[in-house]
Amino acid sequence: MDDTPWGQKAYVFVGSLSHSSKTRAWFSESDDQAHLIVGIDEVLRRLGGSGREWRWVRGR
């Protein structure tokens, strides 16, 4: 997200489980490896665990 109210980029990590239609998200200030790991962990915890398959889509 380039047009944030505070003038800096924001990154949104989104996870969804297709069988239950659950979707959860996590906002981050960076997309480096450390923030990516935290984002994945937070999204998976909010979903209640991991699904059988993972699909990665990186939008810019």
* pLDDT one-digit tens code per residue, 1-60: 667 788 888 888 888 887 788 899 999 988 889 998 999 899 989 988 877 777 777 766
What was the pLDDT predicted at 3? 76
What was the pLDDT predicted at 16? 85
* Separation between Cα atoms, residue 20 and residue 11, nearest integer Å: 25
What was the pLDDT predicted at 60? 63
- Residue 15 exposure: Cα atoms within 13 Å on the Cβ side: 20
Give me 17's structure tokens. Answer: 């489980």
* Separation between Cα atoms, residue 47 and residue 33, nearest integer Å: 21
pTM of the predicted model, to two decimals? 0.69
* pLDDT one-digit tens code per residue, 27-43: 998 888 999 899 989 99
